[in-house]
Amino acid sequence: MKLGVIKETKAGETRVAITPDVVKTLVKKGLQVMVQSGAGEAAHFNDAAYVDAGADIADVETVLACDVIAKVRKPSLDEIAKMSAGAVYIGQVESCGEDDSIAAMQARDIKVIALERVPRISRAQSMDVLSSQANIAGYRAVLEAAGHYGRFLPLMMTSAGSAKPAKVVILGVGVAGLQAIATARRLGADVYAYDIRPETKEQIESLGAKAIELDIGESGSGEGGYAKELSDEGKAKQQRMLVEELSKAHVIITTAQIPCREAPELVTEEVVQNLREGSVIVDMAAGSGGNCRLSKPDQVAEAHGVLLVGHTNYPAMMPTDASAFYAKNVANLLDIMLEPGEEGLVLKDLDADEITAAAQVKPVAEK
């Protein structure tokens, strides 16, 4: 069985789906790995490293003709047209429903495995792309905040005077939020965090931060550890109660997103107006409407003297490690998808395993 790895073509995407280290593992298990020339260059993996690991370097047409295709971002229609009928696609589909890419793959009988749909259960943790990439995003978001903030984050004492630690507020305590808390604490900031799920208080405090507690009259705890959307009344009350807490901050990092919905507004214009000039807001939800409606996707904007950082692909800013984590997620998923056959590895029944069953994107008629 052949696994194909092609170069990402989406603007700003520097990651690669499979790294040389993971190639070694896959080749030992019986896969033939075909890598498009230059696929790993933006992540600092050259063709020679792939060859040394046991991969074959080929052109894009040869790679796309493989039995299994691994990607980071969803394939273009041109790429899909070059895939083999009946192949398997493993990667992100970045869609909340049917779209042209999914329809085109299904029309060619290509099995679509959407990594963002891998269920968050214990057995699937090693395959959880959303978590592995969110960890990187949370870390990088703090570095971006520190780089744009024109003051020290930690307490700084010198012969010329001293600087108080910056007050950093993290909104949303999921994987990205927890990593942001830990990183900001390591940099010496005075860190506060808020989440609509009351059970996160212990997690916040375990990292040395202070939990912001608001009584909004309802819980935001949803299924599978995710937050659920608040009622309109709850959202309005949350906004009102957050104004005072956020207005004291020097840096605000927002991570709150709801899959397939517009991000909740947490940082209102009133808060931005109240912040000290030179403060920084890193809006990690800028690509889905923004936790602050003044932020702009993939831009560093300014409003009322406050910098609003709206990057939408933090993992791509750290492509080597981000690719390494992503590739291991894919390799772990392949472990449960393939088994030895008479003439090499063969695909298992994807419906027989709860992980691959949940990750499959099936035609509407089959659901």
- For residue 323, the 8-state DSSP code is H
Task: Render pLDDT for 324-338 as a digit per residue (tens, 0 to 9).
Answer: 999 999 999 999 999
The answer to whether 128 is a known catalytic residue is yes
Catalytic residue among 67, 128, 190, 283: 128
Tokens of 357: 């069953």
Which pLDDT does position 95 carry in this prediction? 86
295 annotated active-site: no
Residue-averaged pLDDT of the chain: 94
pLDDT above 80: residue 98: no
The answer to whether 166 and 152 have CB atoms below 8 angstroms apart is: yes
Q: Which of 226, 261, 298, 349 is catalytic?
A: 226
Q: Name the token pair of 365.
A: 């008629």
Which whole number is the average pLDDT over 119-130? 96
Q: What is the pLDDT of residue 316?
A: 98
- Asked whether 57 and 38 are in contact (CB, 8 A), the reply is no
pLDDT category of residue 45 using cuts at 50, 70 and 90: very high
Q: Residue 220 has what pLDDT?
A: 63
Amino acid at position 322, single letter: A
The C-alpha atoms of residue 203 and residue 218 are separated, in whole angstroms, by 20
Q: Which one from 73, 117, 120, 151 is the annotated catalytic residue?
A: 120
- Asked if 226 is an active-site residue, the reply is yes
Q: What is the mean pLDDT of residues 185-198?
A: 95
Give the pLDDT band of residue 146 (cuts 50, 70, 90).
very high
Task: Point out the catalytic residue in the list 131, 179, 238, 257.
Answer: 131
Work out the number of other CB atoms within 10 angstroms of the CB of residue 318: 20
Residue 86 sits at the vertex; the CA angle it makes with 82 and 91, to the nearest 5 degrees, is 70
The residues facing 306 across adjacent strands are 303
Q: Is the pLDDT of residue 31 over 90?
A: yes
- Containing 339, the helix (H) or strand (E) segment is strand 338-341
Average pLDDT over residues 299-303: 98
Between the CA of residue 114 and those of 216, 242, 248, 309, what are the distances in Å? 36, 36, 41, 29
Residue 114 has pLDDT above 60, yes or no: yes
Q: Which residue segments constitute the domains of the chain, with CATH numbers given? A: 2-117+319-362 (3.40.50.720), 136-316 (3.40.50.720)
Instruction: Report CA-CA distances (Å) from 200 to 52, 131, 248.
Output: 45, 17, 22
Q: Which residue in 59, 99, 123, 125 is the catalytic one?
A: 125
Helix 319-337 crosses helix 129-148 at what angle (to 10 degrees)? Answer: 170
3-class SS shares of the chain: helix, strand, coil, % to 5: 40, 20, 40
* The two structure tokens encoding residue 58: 């080929």
Instruction: Please report the pLDDT score of residue 214 as a whole number.
Output: 87
pLDDT for 367: 54
Is residue 126 flagged as an active site residue? no
131 labelled catalytic: yes
Residue 70: pLDDT band with limits 50, 70, 90:
very high
**pLDDT bracket for residue 223 (50, 70, 90):** low
User: Is the confidence at residue 210, as pLDDT, over 80?
Assistant: yes
Pure H helices in 196-305: 201-206, 232-247, 269-274
